[in-house]
Amino acid sequence: MKHCTLTIMSIALAAASCSDNKPELYKEPSASVEQRVEDLLGRMTLEEKVGQMNQFVGIEHIRAAQGSLTEEELHNNTANAFYPNTSIEDVESWTKQGLIGSFLHVLTVEEANYLQSLAMQSRLPIPVIFGIDAIHGNANAPDNTVYATNINLACSFDTAAAYAIARQTALEMRAMNMHWTFNPNVEVARDARWGRVGETFGEDPYLVSLMGAQSVRGYQQDLNGKRDVLACIKHFVGGSQPANGTNGAPADLSERTLREVYFPPYVKGIEAGAMSVMMSHNELNGIPCHTNDWLMTDVLRGEWKFKGFVVSDWMDIEHVYDLHATADSLKEAFYQTIAAGMDMHMHGIHWNRMVAELVREKRIPEKRIDESVRRILAVKFRLGLFEQPYADVEESMQIRLNREHRSTALESARNGIVLLKNEGNILPLQAKKYRKVLVTGINADDENILGDWSAQQRPDNVITVLEGLRQAAPETTFELVDQGWDPRNMDRGRVALAAQKARSADLNIVVAGEYMMRYRWTERTDGEDTDRSDIDLAGLQNELIQKVAASGKPTILVLINGRPLGVEWAAQNLPAIVEAWAPGMYGGQAIAEILYGAVNPSAKLAITIPRSVGQIQMYYNHKPSQYFHPYADYKPSTPLYPFGYGLSYTTYRYSDLQLSKTLVSAKESIEVKVRVKNTGRREGVEIVQLYLRDNTSSATRPVKELKDFARVPLKAGEAKTVAFTITPNKLAFYSKDMRYGVERGEFTVMVGKSSRDEDLLKQRFVVR
């Protein structure tokens, strides 16, 4: 029978077993969260408890997936799902019986309210919590503000913006009756082949930590009521350094590397109050993360005192059985994950029956189930879902896409676009000089500018690059030669046409990069589960750039992408390159404002750009021996563009680097001051960066590590003294015997405009 996977006791018997006529304290808002949780938990059957630990995809998602996927395709699909031999009516019935604790992939307020109304019909009525991948705004649902992506945000080095975007996203989510964002992604990205780089805050643990913590604070605040949403720090851990660059591949990382590089952002996220953690697809050192008790129990709860709940990623508990093969059955996989510390299962129909059986077989104590359910219920109470299970449909659009949120989206785009090259100061463009401009490339006039995790939006809510150019320079003639959106299926005839048109233009703008839109899943070249074996421009894009540049007319390259791209030919031959990443709904306006000088670019790279795939892994905070021997083919060991690098339309001079002390104890702080002057002719914002190196240590240390930064606005000719404090924790590391602390010896302080040695002033001090 098709209903057998979620067999339950009769509701009548369940009610009889729990009814003792006690006052329903859990329904009293005046009671404490702890009191309400314990009262409700004491009324729940085993089946209801296990149901709280299970998540399903929404019914509209099921309906769409059933029409587009076969059962064979379902196995390897990590974006769409349905449940074979299970009807939508089954899911609705289970919701009404209180056997589903959460939904994901619910994309409209109407569906969220409907599913919640079913949950309200359950015996106890316990509301469901709706989770969604609101990665840069609640962009995965239509008619919401789409901000610049996380990698853009990281390139702005603007932690206040991280908070503001998260806070506004929380308001828009709650306006849609959505309560839980699967963000921030605080993985430290070290492989440009990996398709999810754009979802992260880059390669540096310190920057990722600060951005992630501010995002958590913005989403949750104090996690108390109808304006907050639950943050989820993910993916724990190692998925951003997969063995072959593909999502979910094994990670083999030493405990030293984990603790020094990959753990810090999770620590800061938990300190900021994060109440959910998502485990990573991959195995770590031979143990699937989803059954790794060292990660979930020893580290998360034991060392870091994490009080929230742990959720699996998409069907990854099932993969313990059918992929990793460390369990001999699905039921055994469920046992292993719960025993290791898992609280919620994403997603599927077998969990309820099998987990209840494991409890009845006494393999899992019911008190272990109670631990997880307490954590989940506590969050639901704190979010106010028992008092306000629905969203007001009429008020929803008064909050979503409001003027303040749109303004933040535009500003985040402006501040996250990096100017990589500007030879001969061709930028900013002079409209009077370039009257006829050719615009071409796969991203010239496409809403792909929104980036991954974005639903298709209304055209009037998106400004493409072409539209932005026409707004910025209305008297200029912009001629588009469309190249389609899929770089792998470009038409050589369209490339030839662009080359021909380029000869009669005054200026050429090629908008190239990757394709990321999820509604054309099979045509993507970037994003979740869209990894590449190369980081060169896909398809005929290099040929397009070269043929357009062969016209002899100035040619500018604008990149729209999530991962770093090795555009070495363009870097050597074109006068200007702009790395726009995926700047969101107003990205086209922001790009045009930068190209025409209405905005002075200020962003700096949050991730190194390698020259080619052969340089991977390429990151700035490497160990001293990493480039001791050059490549045998004499290819450079230096990156195409380094971490922290980015140009401006003005210039800055650093001078007078001073330390308050040059001899300190391991418990003392040092004040660092540097003078920064805007030596150009226009106002700008300089991102001042401070790096440290432990010159001699018991275990090898990176050649430099970012330890502080500041966004400094400067008018033309203005100078400011920028101050930093080096606290003892910024000197600490794991010694030879894995003891965390500060070792005596000499340190180097480096302050400047990028991580390149030639861009840094240096001073030394000694720890006694």
* Tally of structural domains, the chain: 2
Domain assignment present for residue 361? The answer is no
Neighbours of 474 (CB within 10 A): 9
Contact 320, 290 (CB under 8 A): yes
User: Residue 690 belongs to a domain with what CATH number?
Assistant: 2.60.40.10
Domain assignment present for residue 727? The answer is yes
498-533 tens-digit pLDDT = 999 999 999 999 999 999 999 999 999 999 999 999
Q: Which of 123, 146, 113 is nearest to 14 (CA)?
A: 123
Rounded to whole angstroms, the Cα distance separating 718 from 755 reads 24
| DSSP labels, 229-264 | -B--EEEESSTTS-TTSSTT--B---HHHIIIIISH
Same domain, 512 and 460: yes
Same domain, 695 and 570: no
pLDDT at 725: 98
Domain end, chosen from 615, 643, 673, is at: 615
pLDDT at 74: 79
Write down the catalytic residue from 143, 313, 343, 708. 313
Here the tokens at position 271 are 């300190």
CB burial readout 592-626, b (16+ within 10 A) else e? bbbbbbebbbbbbbbbbbbbbbebbebbbbeeeee
Q: State the amino acid at position 11 in one-letter form.
A: I
Domain assignment present for residue 20? The answer is no
Same domain, 481 and 610: yes
pLDDT at 6: 55
Same domain, 460 and 531: yes
Domain assignment present for residue 570? The answer is yes
Rounded to whole angstroms, the Cα distance separating 298 from 342 reads 13
Domain assignment present for residue 140? The answer is no
Same domain, 658 and 728: yes
Same domain, 433 and 552: yes
Same domain, 685 and 730: yes
Phi, psi of 288 (to 5 degrees): -55, 135
By residue range, what is the domain housing residue 511?
Answer: 409-615
User: Residue 569 belongs to a domain with what CATH number?
Assistant: 3.40.50.1700
422-450 tens-digit pLDDT = 999 999 999 999 999 999 999 999 999 99
Domain end, chosen from 595, 615, 635, is at: 615
Rounded to whole angstroms, the Cα distance separating 351 from 344 reads 10
Q: Which of 399, 437, 450 is nearest to 556 (CA)?
A: 437
Domain assignment present for residue 487? The answer is yes
pLDDT at 79: 81
Same domain, 597 and 476: yes
Same domain, 555 and 693: no
Domain end, chosen from 615, 636, 664, is at: 615
pLDDT at 78: 78
Same domain, 429 and 568: yes
pLDDT at 627: 94
Rounded to whole angstroms, the Cα distance separating 286 from 167 reads 38
Same domain, 600 and 686: no
10-residue mean pLDDT profile of the chain (768 residues): values are 44 44 92 98 98 98 88 80 93 98 97 98 98 98 97 98 98 98 98 98 98 98 94 98 96 98 98 98 98 98 98 97 98 98 97 98 98 98 97 96 98 98 97 97 98 96 98 98 97 98 98 97 95 98 98 98 98 98 98 98 98 96 95 92 98 98 97 98 98 98 98 98 98 98 98 98 97
Domain assignment present for residue 566? The answer is yes
Rounded to whole angstroms, the Cα distance separating 323 from 338 reads 18
CA 324 to chain centre: 26
Neighbours of 396 (CB within 10 A): 19
Q: Which of 312, 311, 350, 308 is nearest to 329 (CA)?
A: 350
Domain assignment present for residue 454? The answer is yes
Residue 482 annotated to the active site: no
pLDDT at 17: 45
Same domain, 494 and 433: yes
